[in-house]
């Protein structure tokens, strides 16, 4: 038999595309039997994103692995969308005929189709072609549990979540405050809410769900999913926790300027502030951060981005003269560095001088932090980050809580940031516990992906399942 192929269907966002591709490559490396990868590439909706995807694919094609990329025909993106989750979900749905044609035209047997979770509508294509369909979830098991529970919550809670009394019951998690629900479900009239509920319902139809987490990182949430407690009345889902899936680019020949600056700092003395590829602040918030950092007395490395240009989505490089209080850079020059453009977060977190991380709480960033044993202060901005922030503090114990005013565009007062940074970097019991737990999780993350570890074993089980499910789909 020809080598079976595993078809990956990612979306274009860096945190989604790179995570699914890295998972696929690990699957090939861990599989006892020969498998190949076929990646179906949707055209990104902007030229900048399309260029980023193309550059990433060029790097992968040069890697020598058995990975083939098929570029799907472009679709006309919707123009009447309200939110980004709706936009991505609708584009994925519009690709159904192209995905079907691409899979039908493959010569090798198809072992299975692994869909980014925004592509759950494409499970219909898998069913039509009689090939196994899997959902790949780039975030954590806590969020999977929430989304699986959401269709039932929709029936149980007739009002907006923020109007309900008491906490939200999500099996596997501590009681979830209504203020911590993901941004896409804060408004039930918004199409984003409808799509999240739809995806939660469709997940239960997948042959299995693959999650970028480790069994030891989220045992309660994973057990609740596998036991069927999140999907009462529906069959329990098979779950493969295969993380942490983190891509480590080779170190540059010349260390980055931020890394060189860290070389001059004491071990675990610097708090890093970095907010992902989409995180930015207006000047009023930047000045609050500056005041809080200055009053904290701690060393800091602050990656500061400004608001997007009109009509654009990506943050701009910060104009420090306009965004920071007068004299701040001069007063803090001996213990702080403000970096106004992109910075190599993974390299920075790996540095011994970094002792804490104020983060937007995206799951990829959190995994990088835990991989290096760095405790966090979550400052959620969008997507599922408010739920993540709650999980990091209440379920995982790896973070110090900070008050974020969600009604004021996630505003944080200077005094609150000062308090959280002091706590994180050595001020009290909450910080001590978070540092200890983060240090434990460093060992957990690394052991999970080593031979004999839980994620290594999950990948082997998944590869065996895929190999057994291989079917010829040509001419169906």
* Residue pLDDT, tens place only, 316-363: 999 999 999 999 999 999 999 999 999 999 999 999 999 999 999 999
**In this model, does residue 233 exceed pLDDT 90?**
no
CA distance 294 to 325: 11
Q: Is the dihedral of CA 56, 58, 62, 68 positive or negative?
A: positive
Q: Active-site residue numbers? A: 16, 116
Q: How many CB atoms lie within 10 A of CB 407?
A: 8
The pair phi, psi for residue 240, each rounded to 5°, is -120, 100
Q: How far apart are CA 399 and CA 397, in angstroms?
A: 6
Closest residue by Cα to residue 74 from 94, 54, 57, 60 = 94
Q: What is the pLDDT of residues 86-104, one digit of tens each?
A: 999 999 999 999 999 999 9
How confident is the model over 447-464, as a mean pLDDT? 97
- Rounded Cα gap, residues 110 and 128, in angstroms: 14
Per-residue CA distances from 209 to 130, 185, 223, 236, 278 (Å)? 18, 21, 13, 11, 27
> How far lies 164's CA from each of 153, 161, 331, 351, in Å?
11, 5, 47, 44
Q: What phi and psi, each to the nearest 5 degrees, are found at residue 280?
A: -155, 165
- Helices 283-296 and 414-422: crossing angle in degrees, nearest 10, is 40
Average pLDDT over residues 404-422: 98
476 band by pLDDT with thresholds 50, 70 and 90: very low
Backbone angles phi, psi at 71, to 5 degrees: -85, 120
What residues have CB less than 8 Å from 121, skipping those under 6 apart? 89, 92, 93, 96, 198, 202
Q: Is the pLDDT of residue 467 over 50?
A: yes
Helices of type H across 140-266: 141-156, 191-203, 219-226, 257-262
Query: Do 304 and 323 touch, CB atoms closer than 8 A?
Result: yes
| Lowest mean per-residue pLDDT among 248-252, 264-268, 394-398, 400-404 | 248-252
């Amino acid at each position: 038999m020809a080598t079976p192929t595993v078809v990956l269907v990612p979306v274009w966002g860096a945190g989604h595309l790179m995570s699914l591709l890295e998972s696929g490559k690990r699957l090939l490396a861990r599989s006892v039997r020969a498998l190949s990868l076929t990646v179906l590439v949707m055209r990104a909706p902007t030229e900048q994103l399309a260029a980023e995807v193309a550059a990433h694919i060029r790097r992968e094609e040069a890697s020598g692995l058995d990975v083939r990329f098929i570029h799907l025909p472009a679709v006309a993106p919707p123009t009447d969308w309200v939110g980004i989750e709706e936009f991505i979900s609708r584009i994925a749905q519009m690709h159904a005929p192209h995905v079907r044609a691409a899979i039908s035209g493959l010569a090798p047997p198809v072992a299975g189709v692994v869909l980014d979770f925004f592509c759950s509508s494409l499970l219909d294509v898998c069913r039509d072609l009689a090939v196994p369909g899997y959902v790949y979830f780039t975030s954590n098991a806590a969020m999977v549990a929430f989304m699986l529970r959401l269709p039932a919550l929709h029936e149980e809670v007739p009002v907006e979540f923020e109007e309900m009394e008491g906490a939200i019951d999500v099996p596997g998690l501590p009681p979830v405050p209504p203020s911590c629900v993901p941004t896409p479900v804060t408004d039930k009239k918004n199409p984003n809410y409808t799509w999240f509920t739809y995806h939660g319902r469709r997940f239960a139809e997948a042959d299995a769900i693959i999650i970028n987490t480790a069994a030891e990182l989220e045992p309660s949430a994973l057990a609740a999913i596998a036991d069927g407690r999140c999907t009462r009345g529906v069959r329990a889902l098979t779950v493969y926790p295969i993380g942490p899936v983190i891509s480590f680019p080779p170190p540059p020949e010349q260390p980055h300027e931020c890394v060189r600056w860290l070389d001059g700092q004491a071990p675990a003395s610097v708090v890093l502030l970095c907010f992902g590829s989409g995180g930015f602040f207006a000047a009023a918030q930047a000045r609050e951060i500056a005041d809080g950092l200055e009053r904290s007395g701690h060393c800091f490395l602050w990656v500061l981005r400004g608001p997007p240009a009109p009509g654009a989505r990506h943050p701009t490089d910060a104009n420090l003269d306009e965004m920071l209080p007068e004299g701040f850079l001069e007063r803090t020059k001996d213990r702080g560095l403000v970096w106004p453009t992109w910075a190599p977060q993974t390299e920075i977190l790996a540095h011994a001088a970094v002792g804490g991380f104020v983060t937007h709480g995206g799951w990829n960033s959190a995994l990088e932090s835990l991989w290096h044993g760095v405790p966090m202060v979550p400052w959620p901005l969008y997507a599922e980050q408010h739920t993540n922030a709650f999980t990091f503090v209440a379920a995982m114990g790896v973070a110090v809580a900070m008050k974020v005013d969600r009604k004021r565009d996630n505003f944080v007062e200077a005094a609150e940031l000062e308090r959280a940074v002091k706590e994180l970097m050595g001020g009290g019991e909450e910080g001590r516990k978070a540092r200890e737990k983060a240090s434990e999780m460093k060992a957990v993350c690394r052991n999970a992906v080593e031979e004999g570890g839980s994620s290594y074993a999950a990948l082997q089980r998944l590869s065996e399942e895929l190999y057994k499910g291989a079917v010829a789909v040509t001419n169906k």
